[in-house]
Structure 1
Amino acid sequence: MRPRTPLRRTTAHRRTSVLAGLTALALTLAGALTVAGTGSARGDVPTTPGWNLAWSDDFDGANGSLPSSANWQIDTGHGYPGGPGNWGTGEIQNYTASPDNISLDGNGNLRITPLRDGAGNWTSGRIETRRADFKAPAGGTLRIEGRVQMPNVTGNAALGYWPAFWALGSPYRGNYWNWPGIGEFDIMENVNGLNSVWGVLHCGVNPGGPCGETTGLANSRACPGASCQSAFHTYRFEWDRSVTPEALRWYVDGQLFHSVTKSQLGAATWADMTDHAGYFLLLNLAIGGAFPNALGGSTPTAETVPGRPMLVDYVGVWTRGGGGTTDPPTDPPSGSSTLTLRSGGGLGAAQSTASSVTLASAGGANHDGTPHNPQTFTATGITRAYDGGSTQFDVFADSGTTVANGQQIRVSYDRTGDGTWERTETYHYFATDPVPGYEHYTQTKGLKSSTGSHGALVNGTVRVEIWNAIGNGPGTVGVGNQSFVHIPYG
């Protein structure tokens, strides 16, 4: 992801000088485990007295079905469009949306399975939550938890396996080059079938900085009782804003094994990591890359065995104290410049549920650059200074099976709310593919045209218009907690 460091991942799964003090311990555990475990689900998201459940997925559903499209988006390929190759970490697998790689198992679990074809090519699965607003309330605590069984494989057969449960700061979406400043919380990661869970924080600058990138601030320990590979364990992360200094904590089966406080990082680094809309969650199983190679040489090898899945019983997000868990107001929250496209035509903080709106067909005409029956989203009463940056967006666009549709976006700024648009930006349209499923339409398509200039907003208005510029069929755009625009105002 970083120009100076080609191998990393938008996540902690990436470090070539990995945790030197822990490496020796981890290597003594390699190959010492036996294959066991039944992979049974607990059956529900647990009740947590004193906490408010904000979001969860229990992965109930038929064997072979994909995870809920309302909750998750499936990442495919070898990197984000416009982002670093091999996800920035050197991992070699191709992520797919095939149920062979990612699906429910019919027993209450998500199953992510790495596979290798006859030519030696690996495929696997990676998903991320549509919501990107998971954040500790002011004066309260955020809790992210999952019950996971790591791939049940050890020794040489596990070389190159890299399962992970983690979170990335929301500004990463649509940018893909602002890591690690936006923050990354690695709640659980593991490599090469070792009986060890790593908890890692990535922050600041790369290389070096207060988090010692690309390694990050990390700790690890063996799983309590049964090995990480042979049984389910519960992995939890907490962001606590009720204490001074604020703190981050990592747990396995309720046992604290890692913590970082604000005082360790400094106010500026902490603010970059926390003063944005929040985080989105990810689950994936990579093969090869910087972290497995650091502990196991060049991985995978001829002895690496495909087909051993990571199983996830549930993922849940809770809050405690602070501002509660109700939907934020439509208008952008103070200090946040990331505005979500909300159901009902608003622009503001993300809503608790995902939904979609329909874009009218272009009817075979060419509306490139001119809004035609657009869906419009507006935020008013904004007073903020221009930060010198540029507009960014990530719109979830889909045209189903329609061929040759192109969706287009225009973002307009009325600095004083008087109905005069001092700055208007129209971006090149995005040609959606004829395969059902959302795609990412971002500012990387480039500006088609712009008028006016940016300046301070004083009781100003921001408007987003989206329409079908070409094509013969309707389209859809994800809203509620799925698509966002980041305005250059702080």
Structure 2
Amino acid sequence: MKPRRRILAATTALLAAVPLAIAAMSANASIPPPAAGWTQVWGDDFNGPNGSLPSSSNWIFDLGHAYPGGPANWGTGEIQNYTNSTQNIKLDGSGNLRITALKDGAGNWTSSRIETQRSNFKPAPGGKLAIEGRIQMPNVTGQAALGYWPAFWALGSPFRGNYWNWPGIGEFDIMENVNGINSVWGVLHCDVAPGGACGEFTGIGNSRACPGASCQSAFHTYRFEWDDAAKTFTWFVDGQQFHQVTQARVGTTVWNQMTSHAGYFVLLNLAIGGAFPDALNPGQPTPVAATQSGHSLVVDYVAVYSAGGGPTTPPTTTTTTTTPPGGGGSAYSELQAESAAERSGGSVGVGDGGSAVNQIGNGGYLKYSRVDFGSGPARQFYARVASGASGGVSGLVEVRLDSRTASPVGTFAVGNTGGWDAWRTIPANISNISGVHDVYVTFTSGQPAPYVSVNWVKFGT
């Protein structure tokens, strides 16, 4: 389900099926407890009355054939119209979410796609993050399955409200499948398209048959782990590793581009047709006349876990350095937004326990003169921010040194945090910085509307 067309013909050698006549397992109807050392940070077990929609506090419905202003047909060539009708998406009353693809009498297909409200899933510095789901793919194979494209995946938060910055913001395909093949694909998308470090539009992928029962006939657990200390992304099915990508493979710059923003949101969808199923059915676009309507992607639960790592807020500092007039001083003390030497955009008002620069939009900036990083090196940037921006409005908070037009040394994305007084401390990785610099905090967005208030910024080693 990529924001660009891709072909995975290179993976066709990995399509060997394992036909086993094993009865489908039943749903758990609850999220299992995390493994030792892990903590659940978010989850949905899809328990609820039969015929009800999934929780709107957890999920956003993607509707139609594209994001507003985004690529047509979701950038993939898929043909279905996404709806929030209970004909296409509902809880089944037995602890499952069912997303069902339907064809009407005129040959038009409908289905559903949802994404998490939260878009900040990432590991703590030096820690791990896992995204896991227990899922049964649509139970259809052969000609009747041609064009079915279920997916469980994650996109980088800066994609929200932009829709044209793929694949640089990163994409983790935790589980993909097409055409009823007994195989799960795990894929990383990154950098630029076409080409780039991830070889777009294909991405860096691998696949394998589901262990034991086929992917279509039974539930399997699909898991993606991001290890910030080891600098690895790893894919599992039923606890068995089948794919891994390291920072060394894509390069530090590309890795940082994917991992230094605010985090990721998780998606579930069932597409019909498009580049991927077409690529594995050469010579005949999908769906075909024999493709059957009415099969469902069935999801028992989705959960996000964390393990290890340091704090997600800046460490306590013992420095007694105060912020002098003009905004300079120690990089490791809180540089108050309202004390910046120069400011463009926003307005000074009430902040988090004091004052802040509120409702900054595209093109705004804060300048702090002669900020002292010492021998450093500083590797972290933190900002205390809040946003009451309307849906779809978001943007970047960027750090630049010595010039407002210099390339950013650190960036994170921010959207609605729950209100203009809902303050959060968001971290970003930066290159090793030392010495004395003029620091510019710049604000870039694809929309004219304000999207962020800033209370203070700070650096850490």
TM-score (norm: length of structure 1): 0.67
Q: Distance in 2 between matches of 1:423 and 1:105?
A: 43
Given the alignment, which residue of 254, 269, 284 partners 2:269? 284
Question: Aligned equivalents of 2:52 and 2:303: distance in 1?
Answer: 20
Alpha-carbon distance change, 63 to 177 in structure 1, aligned in 2, over 3 angstroms:
same
CA contact (8 A) 2:346 2:364 kept: no
The answer for the alignment partner of 1:23 in structure 2 is: 12
C-alpha offsets along residues 451-481 of structure 1, whole Å, 9 cap, x if unaligned?
Answer: xx744344999886779xxxxxxxxx97539
Going from structure 1 to structure 2, the CA distance change for 1:52 and 1:424 (only over 3 Å counts) comes to closer
The aligned counterpart of 1:4 is none
Q: Does the CA-based 8 Å contact 2:337-2:366 persist in structure 1?
A: no
Within 5 Å, which residues of 2 pair with 1:345-364? none
Hey, what does 1:190 align to over in structure 2?
177
State whether structure 2 residue 352 is matched by structure 1 residue 456: no
Asked if the contact 2:159/2:166 (under 8 Å) is kept, the reply is yes
Q: Partners of 1:71 and 1:155 in 2: how far apart?
A: 35
1:23 partner amino acid = T
User: Which residue identity does 1:412 align to in structure 2?
Assistant: G
Indicate how the Cα distance of structure 1 residues 385 and 106 shifts in structure 2: closer, same or farther if over 3 A, else same: farther
| SS at structure 2 position matched to 1:53 | strand
- Partner of 1:273, secondary structure, is helix
Q: What's the CA shift for 1:283?
A: 0.2
In percent, how many aligned pairs have the same letter?
59
Seen in structure 2, the aligned counterparts of structure 1 residues 225 and 458 have a Cα distance that, compared at 3 Å, is same
SS at match of 1:64: coil
CA distance, structure 1, for counterparts of residue 130 and residue 387 of structure 2: 33
Contact 1:67 1:103 in 2 (8 A): yes
SS of equivalent residue, structure 1 residue 487:
strand
Letter in 2 for 1:282: L
SS class of match (1:107): coil
* Correspondent of 1:131 among 99, 118, 143: 118
**Equivalents in 1 of 2:295, 2:22: separation in Å?**
12
Cα shift at 1:9: 2.3
Residue in 1 aligned with 2:27?
41
Q: Encode CA deviations 1:82-122: one digit per residue, 9 max, x unaligned.
A: 00000000000000000110110110001000000000000
Residue aligning to 1:9: 2
Does the CA-based 8 Å contact 1:382-1:461 persist in structure 2? no
Distance 1:181 1:262 in 2: 15
Alignment partners' CA distance in 1, 2:106 and 2:154: 33
- Tell me what 1:252 maps to: 237
- Partner-residue secondary structure (3-state), 2:69: coil
CA distance in 1, matches of 2:126, 2:311: 10
> Is 1:162–2:149 an aligned residue pair?
yes
Q: 1:33 to 1:169 in 2, by over 3 A?
A: same
4+ residue segments displaced more than 4 Å: 32-39, 382-386, 417-425, 459-467, 481-486
Give me the whole-angstrom Cα distance separating, in 2, the residues matched to 1:267 and 1:280: 22
Q: Is the 8 A contact 1:90 1:290 kept in 2?
A: yes
Which residue identity lines up with residue 15 of structure 1 in the other structure?
R
> 2:149 is paired with a residue of what secondary structure?
strand
Q: After superposition, what is the alpha-carbon deviation per residue over 1:142-180, rounded to whole angstroms, capped at 9, x for unaligned?
A: 011000000000000000000000000000000000000
**Pick from 76, 80, 88: which aligns with 1:89?**
76
Q: 1:463 to 1:140 in 2, by over 3 A?
A: closer
Q: Distance in 1 between matches of 2:249 and 2:59?
A: 33
Provide the C-alpha distance between the structure 1 equivalents of 2:341 and 2:247, rounded to a whole number of angstroms: 27
Which residue pairs with 1:238 in the alignment? 225
Aligned amino acid, residue 292 of structure 1: P
Assess, with a 3 A threshold, how the Cα gap between structure 1 residues 463 and 133 changes in structure 2: closer, same or farther.
closer
Q: Which residue of 1 aligns with 2:418?
A: 480
The equivalences for 1:48-447 within 5 A come to: 48=34, 49-243=36-230, 246-296=231-281, 297-323=284-310, 381=337, 412=346
Q: Aligned pair in 2 of structure 1 residues 250, 421: CA closer, same or farther (>3 Å)?
A: closer
Partner residue, 1:437: none
User: Aligned Cα RMSD in Å?
Assistant: 3.6
Query: Do the aligned partners of residues 134 and 481 (structure 1) sit closer, same or farther apart at CA in structure 2, a change above 3 Å counting?
Result: farther
1:187 to partner: Cα distance: 0.2
CA distance in 2, matches of 1:179, 1:381: 31
Partner amino acid for 1:45? Answer: I
Q: Structure 1 66/260 Cα, relative in aligned 2: closer, same or farther at 3 Å? A: same
Residues 224 and 465 of structure 1, relative CA distance in 2, 3 Å threshold: closer
Shift of residue 424 of structure 1?
6.7
What SS is found at the alignment partner of 1:10?
A: coil
- Count of residue pairs the alignment pairs up: 364
Looking at structure 2, the residues matched to 478 and 34 of structure 1 have their Cα atoms a distance apart, in angstroms, of: 47
1:299-347 CA distances to partner (integer Å, 9 max, x unpaired)? Answer: 000000011101000001001001368xx58xxxxxxxxxxxxxxxxxx
Distance (whole Å) between structure 2 residues aligned to residue 478 and residue 277 of structure 1? 12
Distance 1:456 1:134 in 2: 27
